[in-house]
Amino acid sequence: MKDMTQKQAWAEAVRRWGPTATIEFRPPRTSGNRRGRLARYCCTVSNGDRGSFESVEGQGNTWVEAFADARPR
pLDDT in tens, 39-49: 678 899 999 87
| pLDDT over 70 at 2, yes or no | yes
Instruction: Report the relative pairing of strands 71-72 and 43-46 from DSSP bridges.
Output: unpaired
More confident residue, 51 or 70: 70
**Confidence (pLDDT) at 39:** 65
Span 5-23, average pLDDT: 95
In angstroms, the first-to-last Cα distance of the chain is: 26
Answer yes or no: are the C-beta atoms of 61 and 43 closer than 8 Å: yes
Q: Whole-angstrom Cα distance, residue 27 to residue 31? A: 12
Length of the chain: 73
| Mean pLDDT for all residues in the chain | 84
Span of 14-18, 33-37, 68-72 with lowest mean pLDDT: 33-37
